[in-house]
Amino acid sequence: MTIGPDLIKEFRRIVGKDDVDNSPEGRISYGYDATQVQHRPEVILYPSNAEEVSRILSICNREGIPLYPRGAGSGFAGGAIPVKGGVSLAMTRMNRIRKIVPEDLYAVVEPGVINGALQKAVEKMGLFYPPDPGSMAFSTLGGNVATGAAGLRSLKYGVTRDYVMGLEAVLPNGEIIRPGVKTVKGVVGYDMTRLLVGSEGTLAVVTEITLRLIPKPETSRTVLAVFADYRDAGRTVARVIDEKIIPSAMEFMDENCVNAVEDQFHLDLPAHGAAYLLIEVDGRPEETDREIDRIDRICRQEGAVHMMRGSDRSEEERLWKARRSISQAINRMGLTKVNEDIAVPRSRIPEILDYLQTLAREKRMRILTFGHAGDGNLHVNILIKAERRPEAEAVVEEIFREVLRLEGTISAEHGIGMVKSRFIGMEIAPPLLSAMKRIKEALDPAGILNPGKIFPVDQSG
């Protein structure tokens, strides 16, 4: 349905004239995310509270208008792209940290709060919010909840869903629900909180989030290990865990990623390695010193050709800047990028790395790989000239088949969105996919909320 002048007036009465944007410039800006796929909305609305979201959804449900919730637009799966036009619901006005409760270890935030802003706020109080996606400096907590985002610390501390205690959310018909608790325990009824986390904005629009906090670790130590063979790095990951050491982060970077970062940011990283592991441990000082020594020894025994410890906080931050700058460095290389977000069991990391190396040679494509080696999650970036994009898309399916053969998953933290929906049947069997679709139909019978996402188009209405 086309959004005409009468509906524009109705939306203006809800959010105010300045928070309704149907300008050509606005529609272009809100028509894409990090995937760079373009579908323009008819209008962008900026609500300020749950009641406004409720009234907007009620209208869209009544009129059959598709509505697409949007945070920072930093997603890699096209989750916020308005593939059927309609309304882009920008949650950026709802950006308040409502309260932090140290004695009960939780915070209540609005969905537009930036992940890094919450981390800084709670750290001032000696507290810690562990989920730290690579986009933490600009991604919103609402977006993190929608995708079930993870991050560098997932190995030790878990992912976003492990920290969401409760939600306020608006159903497609405008009803406001409040699943979850503010207590450590709570088992009343179905766990609707966990159902909504990772649902990619297809079941409800989140308007408030209650997040679990933990005490901030006293200290941390970082070491960078350089390997001449990526297989040695893969074995090292498995051995560190086998030695009962659980780092707070254990990141893999291949040679091409490190070279890209050096070319762009000049961080003076050790050169001439095929693979790099950046490992952090945290806790009490005596524990971290002991564990970093053990990790250093393991890395050397497994073939590390160079070890570099952060001598102080500024040097450690330089090492972590290298890791967090990889995506930005790759984007500046001037080539078309097709990137995927896979995970395999840690013990299969050497196999998937070997497969990717062989694939790159056979297809004559540059494949840059980095990611959260500690939990088996790797980000695979295929770089090609624009005219070879169809070839790269075909290679993605080959990679997915190998990942599933290795008992992995085709999406570890970015979500399915629109770009992976055609592949979901590779991992999810028809009975389970059908059950998911029935849940969607029960909560959103009109199919207005983020249509065209998760399910293949011919199954999503």
Q: Where are the domains of the chain?
A: 5-90, 97-215, 218-332, 334-416, 421-460
Say how far apart CA 290 and CA 284 lie, in whole Å: 10
Geometric angle at alpha carbon 404, from 151 and 391, rounded to 5°: 90
pTM attached to this predicted model: 0.95
Q: 97-215 in CATH: which number? A: 3.30.465.10
Q: Would you give the DSSP letter of residue 83?
A: T
Classify 105 as helix, strand or coil: coil
Q: Which residues, including other chains, have CB under 8 Å from residue 435's CB and lie 6 or more apart?
A: none
Tell whether domain 218-332 is in CATH 3.30.70.2190. yes
Classify 217 as helix, strand or coil: coil
Distances (CA, A) of 423 to 92, 101, 360, 363: 31, 42, 21, 21
Class of domain 5-90: alpha beta
Say how far apart CA 221 and CA 61 lie, in whole Å: 52
Say how far apart CA 174 and CA 109 lie, in whole Å: 21
Give yes or no for a contact between 345 and 406, defined as CB atoms under 8 angstroms apart: yes
pLDDT at 310: 87
Say how far apart CA 32 and CA 204 lie, in whole Å: 21
CA nearest to 22, candidates 1, 5, 39, 35: 5
* SS3 of the chain: helix, strand, coil, percent, to 5: 40, 20, 35
Say how far apart CA 170 and CA 203 lie, in whole Å: 9
- Burial (CB < 10 A; 0-12, 13-18, 19+), residue 248, is buried
Element (H, E) at 40: none
**Do the first three CATH levels of 218-332 and 334-416 match, i.e. the same topology?**
yes
pLDDT at 1: 66
Say how far apart CA 27 and CA 88 lie, in whole Å: 9
CA pseudo-torsion sign 381, 387, 388, 389? positive
CA nearest to 321, candidates 278, 291, 283: 278
Say how far apart CA 131 and CA 177 lie, in whole Å: 25
Q: Would you identify the CATH topology of the domain 334-416?
A: Alpha-Beta Plaits (3.30.70)
pLDDT at 410: 98
pLDDT at 35: 86
3-state SS string over 435-446? HHHHHHHHHCCC
pLDDT at 456: 83
Tens-binned pLDDT, residue by residue, of the chain (461 aa): 689 999 999 999 999 999 999 999 999 999 999 887 899 999 999 999 999 999 999 999 999 999 999 999 999 999 999 999 999 999 999 999 999 999 999 999 999 999 999 999 999 999 999 999 989 999 999 999 999 999 999 999 999 999 999 999 999 999 999 999 999 999 999 999 999 999 999 999 999 999 999 999 999 999 999 999 999 999 999 999 999 999 999 999 999 999 999 999 999 998 889 999 999 999 999 999 999 999 999 999 999 999 999 888 999 999 999 999 999 999 999 999 999 999 999 999 999 999 999 999 999 999 999 999 999 999 999 999 999 999 999 999 999 999 999 999 999 999 999 999 999 999 999 999 999 999 999 999 999 999 999 998 754 44
Angle 389-405/349-363 helices, nearest 10 degrees? 150
Q: Which two tokens stand for residue 84?
A: 């059927």
pLDDT at 458: 57
Say how far apart CA 253 and CA 83 lie, in whole Å: 34
Alpha helices in 218-372 (DSSP H): 230-242, 255-265, 285-301, 313-324, 326-331, 349-363
CA pseudo-torsion sign 417, 419, 422, 424? negative
